[in-house]
Amino acid sequence: MHVLMVSDVCFPRVNGVSTSIGTFRDSLTRQGHRCTVVAPDYGLRGVDTHVQRVPARPVPFDPEDRLMIPRRLRSVLERLDPGDVDVVHLQTPFVAHAVGLRWARRHGLPVLETCHTHFEEYFHHYLPLLPAGWLRAAARTLTRRQCNALDAVIVPSLAMRDVLAGYGVRSPVHVLPTGIDPSAFGHGDGAAFRRRHGLAADRPVLVHVGRIAHEKNLDLLLDVTHLLRRAIPDVVLLVAGDGPALGHCRARVQSLGLEAHVRFVGYLDRGGELQDCYRAGDLFVFASKTETQGLVMLEALALGVPVVAIPALGARDIVEPGRGAVPAPDDASAYAAIVAGLLRDPGRRAYLADEAVRFAREWDSTTVARRLVDVYAEVGVSRPRAPVNHAVAALHAADERNEPAQGVGSGAGPDH
């Protein structure tokens, strides 16, 4: 089977969507399928040559992101052989959706999309000058219309399925979370990470991994750390990631006098350093209420690190008894009390760690990818295909021959 994935975000941009695309692509490839990914060009060379990059522009309110130029994306897609594509899998609701859906429909290909993000709870953080109620209503309407134009929709959690049902989505909705690669998240050297960052082996360490953005509710974790230091004076919070709210968080750390208790360590390499960071923690703490899945919690659990999190939206599928995770309310005092109790109880943490590893095995990426293939089959992808050259290889070959597609590199025509 040949799957065409089109997305407005992909590595090297670090977030859950990029991780999901990479995980599914690798798992599908190992199972003998072909997967072509079309995504923005971030201006970095030597980054994942298996992705076909499209010229893109920065997003004004979030400089980490890029939006593909529509006519450039159309040009790239038109260079593909639609007879060599079995299914179009869209990953984001912006340019990728608009252009990818139109291309798939024109060629009679089945098309589905994963709803990775609960935009109803996101837009008002990035467009504060517009009324929050209006933005929420617009997000609901946009999501409903886009989903109903698809052959099927994938969501990563039961809660997100219920959200779409409430919006009036009529297309078939499949619950399919992103899995984790046990070979990548089966080991990590927490002691080495502590040594590299000058943290004593017995120092109480909390770890948070994720994009540093306002919707992640990081202010709560800073307030929790502020309260914890009274009871556990040497506690430290490690924050791995980056994002538009980093400046705000640094300023808040300073205002709370937490310079000795919070460390921002930036983005970490998923090839080992990130796993070491997880393992350096006594607990993984998470406060977001807008996650459609919360993949970082699964990664922590796979490495045997107990999780404390608010059981909201997609996180509810993970923060359940017997899964190595402890629920906490959206209240700094109550959250801090739960964390303090766990830090003082190594026996309970060890029990939770055993639960965590067992539960995480159920999310093996190979098993989840097989379920994705079943979803593809349900939307009509069962017809045989004649073997032809891989589309990405053909595109790169054309590039090397200096045969640009119509409109690419010519500077002619408007960019819509």
φ, ψ (nearest 5 deg) of residue 201: -60, -30
CA distance to 42, 94, 96, per residue, from 69 (Å): 12, 11, 10
In a 3-state reduction of DSSP, which class is residue 68? strand
Query: Domain 2-179+364-400 - what CATH class?
Result: alpha beta
Extract the tokens encoding 60: 């004004």
Rounded-to-integer distance, Cα 316 and Cα 324, Å:
13
CA distance to 13, 25, 35, 158, 296, per residue, from 28 (Å): 21, 5, 7, 23, 21
Q: Over the range 337-347, which residues count as b (16 or more CB within 10 Å of their CB) and which as e?
A: bbbbebbeeee
Extract the tokens encoding 187: 């080991």
Count CB neighbours of 162 within 10 A: 13
Rounded-to-integer distance, Cα 92 and Cα 21, Å:
11
Judge: domain 190-362, CATH 3.20.190.10: no
CA angle 286, 215, 273 (to 5 degrees): 50
CA distance to 19, 25, 43, per residue, from 58 (Å): 21, 25, 11
Are 2-179+364-400 and 190-362 the same fold in CATH?
yes
179 close to 369: Cβ distance less than 8 angstroms: yes
Cis bond leading into 12, ω under 30°?
Answer: yes
φ, ψ (nearest 5 deg) of residue 274: -65, -45
pTM of the model: 0.85
Domain boundaries, the chain: 2-179+364-400, 190-362
Give the residues across from 195 on adjacent strands.
none
17 close to 91: Cβ distance less than 8 angstroms: yes
The DSSP letter of residue 71 is H
Rounded-to-integer distance, Cα 393 and Cα 381, Å:
23
> pLDDT 10s per residue in the chain (416 long)?
999 999 999 998 888 899 999 999 999 999 999 999 999 998 876 566 679 999 999 987 777 889 999 999 999 999 999 999 999 999 999 999 999 999 999 999 999 999 999 988 877 666 777 788 899 999 999 999 999 999 999 999 999 999 999 999 999 999 999 999 988 898 999 999 999 999 999 999 999 999 999 999 999 999 999 999 999 999 999 999 999 999 999 999 999 999 999 999 999 998 889 999 999 999 999 999 999 999 999 999 999 999 999 999 999 999 999 999 999 999 999 999 999 999 999 999 999 999 999 999 999 999 999 999 999 999 975 434 433 333 444 444 444 444 433 333 333 333 34
